[in-house]
Amino acid sequence: MSNTMKIEGRAWVIRDPSGRAINDIDTDMIYHNAHLAVTDVKEMGKHSFGNLDGWKDFPSKVKAGDIIIAGSNFGCGSSRQHAVDCFRSLGAAALVVESVGAIYKRNAINSAFPLLVVPGALSTAIANGDIVSLDFESGELSVPAKGIHVKGIPFSSVQKDIFQAGSLFKVRPQGR
């Protein structure tokens, strides 16, 4: 059990310039297909959100341990693993979304990248730079300094096992 079920980090809230949530961010916006030839995960981060208007400079601003908070239908589109690995490359601690594309969710879970689904997260006053706490077992997102507490969907037992093991390939079969 190497990964803790509670983390804290600085928030990056993915909104448009008017402050509205950007929904339906597809895998091409997260990681453009022009960079699919990049196979070294360490090199993928610099292309994160490279096709998302207003967020092209994200890789130069994000720091290891930061938490990305996004709207609904995040990661819709293709089965592009790069769209998960680019955030891992940057050292992001977790991704919080209001809802997520099924394939993106499975890719994140399989690679032990913590993804927490919190419907209504962007209807709160969370702002870039806020210190956010996540509890993967209860599914809660909180910003203690602002008194914000939002209940999300806790990790399933499978997601928890894979996260704590460090990847799908490190999970020990039951009874062994």
Q: Does residue 99 lie within any of the structural domains?
A: yes
Q: Is 44 left (phi over 0), alpha (psi -120 to 50) or beta?
A: alpha
Burial 127-140 (b: 16+ CB within 10 A, else e): eeebebbbbbeebb
**pLDDT tens for residues 122-172?**
988 999 999 999 999 999 999 999 999 999 999 999 999 999 988 787 766
Q: Does residue 155 lie within any of the structural domains?
A: no
**Domain region containing 51:** 6-130
Q: Does residue 143 lie within any of the structural domains?
A: no
- What pLDDT is attached to residue 42? 95
Q: What is the pTM of this model?
A: 0.93
Q: Does residue 142 lie within any of the structural domains?
A: no
- What pLDDT is attached to residue 166? 86
> How many domains are there within the chain?
1
Q: Does residue 84 lie within any of the structural domains?
A: yes
Q: Does residue 44 lie within any of the structural domains?
A: yes
- What pLDDT is attached to residue 167? 78
Q: Does residue 1 lie within any of the structural domains?
A: no
Residue 53 CB neighbours (<10 A):
10
Q: Are 139 and 151 in contact (CB under 8 A)?
A: yes
DSSP letters for 31-45: B-GGGTT---HHHHG
- What pLDDT is attached to residue 21? 92
Q: Does residue 20 lie within any of the structural domains?
A: yes
- What pLDDT is attached to residue 1? 39
Beta-ladder partners of 3: none
pLDDT under 70: residue ranges of the chain: 1-2, 171-176
Q: What is the CATH number of the domain that holds 126?
A: 3.20.19.10
In terms of Cβ atoms closer than 10 Å to its own Cβ (0-12, 13-18, 19+), residue 69 is: buried
- What pLDDT is attached to residue 164? 92
In terms of Cβ atoms closer than 10 Å to its own Cβ (0-12, 13-18, 19+), residue 156 is: exposed
